[in-house]
Amino acid sequence: MRGGDWMLGRWVFVPVFVAAFYGGMIVIDLLTYTMLSFWRGWLRRRGLVAWYLVEVVGMWGGTTLLIVALAPWWLSENPGWVPLQVLGCLLGLVSVGVGTWACYKIGWARLLFAGALFLPGSGAEENRVPQRLVVEGPYRHVRNPLYVTDFALILGTALLANDPFLSLLATFYAAQLALQPPLEERELHWRFGLRYSRYCQLVPRFIPRIRPIRPSEIE
């Protein structure tokens, strides 16, 4: 993508990809967490693969097509200020690295909301969705490393491409984070009890602590 942008002489592929990817995530969040009881019942009857088809092909795919179709109207053609571009590039690179680390530690099946939708004993085990509290890697520093890196990547791309639409998208993503994590944490308190309560006391929600906790500290 960066090579294509270099050939074009302007930022096109990178901002479109980031806008489509995270725009789809925002839509999925809104349509999932506001209807969580419905989706859980739906999943019990149909399974994980059916949910991925609805989520990826339907919610994500539809949003991606819309954002790509509207790209000529929202893409910026103005070059940004070089120091901000450098800052945006650094934010993007660090975000991708830490985000990949977090994905590796949490496991593929916990992504795309499978972990939140499958309750213990109601489809989780047979669909190989792990039901465990992850206190490894970046989760030893911050409770929501993927949300932090997602926001940083959107903001970094906005600075790199000097794109107001991506800045607005970062704002929407930040507003969503004021609502979504508390709902997820209520679920995790129910699943893991005192261990998760202790984890919340020791590890910040969004601002990483410098010294990583040891898993034994929450036992």
The per-residue pLDDT for 116 is 57
Contact 173, 151 (CB under 8 A): yes
DSSP labels, 113-174: GHHHHS-TTTTTTTTT---S---SGGGGT-S-HHHHHHHHHHHHHHHHHT-HHHHHHHHHHH
Predicted confidence (pLDDT) per residue in 154-193, tens digit: 999 999 999 999 999 999 999 988 888 888 888 788 878 8
Predicted confidence (pLDDT) per residue in 52-70, tens digit: 788 888 898 999 999 999 9
Domain limits, the chain? 2-218
The per-residue pLDDT for 130 is 52
Residues (pLDDT < 50) of the chain are 7, 122
The CATH code that applies to domain 2-218 is: 1.20.120.1630
Torsion of Cα atoms, 205 then 206 then 209 then 215, to 10° = 40
The per-residue pLDDT for 49 is 76
Dist CA 106 CA 155 (whole Å): 24
* CA-wise closest residue to 80 among 71, 89, 93: 89
Half-sphere exposure (Cβ direction) of 164: Cα atoms closer than 13 Å: 5
